[in-house]
Amino acid sequence: MTAGRSNGRSGGRPTLEEVAARAGVGRGTVSRVINGSPRVSETTRAAVEAAVAELGYVPNTAARALAANRTDAIALVVPEPETRFFTEPYFSDILSGIGAALGPTDLQLLLTFADGARERRRLAQYLAAHRVDGVLLVSVHADDPLPDLLSQLEIPAVISGRRSEDEPLASVDTDNYSGARAAVTHLLERGRTTIATISGRLDVYGAQRRLDGYHSALSDAGRHPEDSLVAAGDFTEEGGRQAMRLLLDRHPELDAVFACSDVMAAGALQVLREAGRRIPEDVALVGFDDSAVARLMDPPLTSVRQPTAAMGRAMTEALLAEIAEGRPDSSRLRRPRQVVLDTELVVRAST
């Protein structure tokens, strides 16, 4: 019979005590090394790491989390239908950024949808049990009760896009106002005279700011913004189609459209083509997001680039900071983190 290497016990996983004995140090020292504490000499750290490798020790992360009153999990909450999440590039880019930020950590990400009263009640029960350490909340509408629920439960949370200028939760947003101004200014510089816009849902603060930017650019150019040149969309392709039909009925002479998302711009393009309008000869078209949709359209779409993946990373980094700081009562006096990322106009053949 051949004698195999013993890891200090017959069967089962090696323990922290066995690692300590093999390295010739105390249990607390092993714990500090595993948790990345700087209060350990390089010689001791090397001895512990060698013992860990030799024994094949794997830290019990569940026990560590329980001892620290942590779950080592965060939730990504989307108050939208699943179909929208899986079809719109905005959400996949956000998710990509979140994944990149979580990569170096041991945290698990839970994805949940809360589109409707029943789903919200179920989510509220789940969160009230403190089964996650924090929440990332995307696509928030002004009347959404979820942010207030998170505040009441004192769960660290970060939202994508503020609900108002005085957002009480930590948030990561893009400069929607400046991005829209740049898009409309570009159309004016191209000599366009009747510029319409397809707005997003105006119960979303970011959509309000894009509409403000549209109005501001026209006013600064000495143009009086007309309400009839504004049609509300809902950030979907069908919403873009419906809004474009309405705008053509009102203003058959329009020669430019600023759509407040690339997906709505794609819908608008279909209607313009059906009406016999050439892009950009007859009507110049600009979108917002600079998603894959913009690059694949024919002609390629001029669009306002918002760094969506960077938003996901920034949201996650802000949430990790919120979790690390904890939520004592005095934290309510602290001004929440408010991150606003720059936008950039990317000019293509549609203008």
Q: What is the pLDDT of residues 318-346, one digit of tens each?
A: 999 888 876 544 444 456 788 999 999 99
pTM of the model: 0.74
Total Cβ atoms within 10 A of residue 16: 17
Separation between Cα atoms, residue 300 and residue 87, nearest integer Å: 20
Q: What is the DSSP letter of 64?
A: H
Separation between Cα atoms, residue 91 and residue 325, nearest integer Å: 28
Q: What is the DSSP letter of 132?
A: S
CA 284-274-271 angle, 5° bins: 60
Collapsing DSSP states into helix, strand and coil, what is residue 281?
A: coil
Please give the share of the chain, as a percent, with pLDDT higher than 70. 89
Phi, psi of 174 (to 5 degrees): -110, 165
Total Cβ atoms within 10 A of residue 100: 14
DSSP E strands: which ranges in 106-249?
Answer: 108-113, 134-137, 157-160, 170-174, 195-199, 230-232
Cis amide linkage into residue 299, ω under 30° from 0:
yes
Give the pLDDT band of residue 40 (cuts 50, 70, 90): confident
* Per-residue pLDDT tens digits for 175-234: 999 999 999 999 999 999 999 999 998 888 899 999 999 999 999 999 988 999 999 998
